Structure 1
Amino acid sequence: MERQQKVVLVTGYSKGGIGYSLCEEFARRGVYEFKVYATSRNLHSVNGLAGKALGIQILEMDVTSDQSVKNAIDSVIEKEGRIDILVNNAGVICAGPLADVPMELALKSFDTNVFGALRTARCVIPHMTKRKEGMIVNIGSIGAYVPTPWNGIYCASKAALHSSTEVLEMECKPLNILVTLVSPGSIKSSQT
């Protein structure tokens, strides 16, 4: 019996970031294990990356847009019939003293880091529920547990992501959908 590839969708694919490394690692596991879809809000920013050579399918998706998320997920479902693993990695950093960070930037940080993950999960969960299986991995941050000065908005948004992930895990467990959180420490990436 031939093993079926797992279909993986990773948000936040950008040069030098966690999403980029995750997609490469999934792809290197071989075509027999994973079919990888990477998303970026700006396809021009990922031109020339090695992803296509590794068989990674790259889609445009802005996690702050309901329609963009729906379009990308519908595209994968149409091609593959399912998404087995969703990795919510898209995120933005918002640095500066809490008293000085413009509210527009604070809202953008929460919209991307918290509501972007929720928006994407909400779009994928009905498809996983039909199949009675799936996995959602949210990429958090140690900053949610150890907040630091001049990084308050980012840390607060990741703390909100951690809490919402715990609740989503409880709500999805009866549906046989595993929801988990990865909280990396300091990582040198294209954002830092």
Structure 2
Amino acid sequence: MGDMHHPGPPRFLATGETTELAPRDPDPSGSYAWRVVDAPPDSEATVGTGPVTEFTPDVPGRYRIGLGAPDGDHLLTVRAFPSSYEGVDVEGGSGTAIRDRTAGDAPVDYAEPRSDESVGRPRVRLDASVDEGGNDAESEIVVRATATTTRTPRSTRTTCRVRFVADRDVASGVAVGRTSPRDALETSD
């Protein structure tokens, strides 16, 4: 099985966000078939039929998208996280979707200006230490991640969960016992 058509590393999206799916180096005369191999139980997300298509996760969770290509079958992992509108009634009973509204027509909390000073991406701090083991045990490097979100006008500083995801190349290296720093990876939740 080759990698000329593999769709690439894992993708990370918010629910409702769309990503383009495409073989890495498509052959115009080749045949391609996308499919959803695995999805969260409540998902109804699908993929298109063309060699280049789009995917939009509809519920948070892990999706595995398959691609049948001339050089074999490939899997792509898509992790979807709750969007900022998760749990919000975007229809609002008015028959107008929230994205179709103008700020002047929206309720005050939706139209309220947001200050750039208090909004930003979550931050991750990494701390590493060397565990010398004991007796004849080998030393081990331990990396800890501390994640924080930025403050919003209505909230206090909060922490969030960090998830490290190995791409397919590192995961396959671990599976066959490689131990070079780039290929060796051990994770825990």
Does TM, scored on the shorter chain, surpass 0.5? Answer: no
Q: Which has the larger radius of gyration?
A: 2
Q: Which has the higher contact order (CA 8 A, sep 6+)?
A: 1
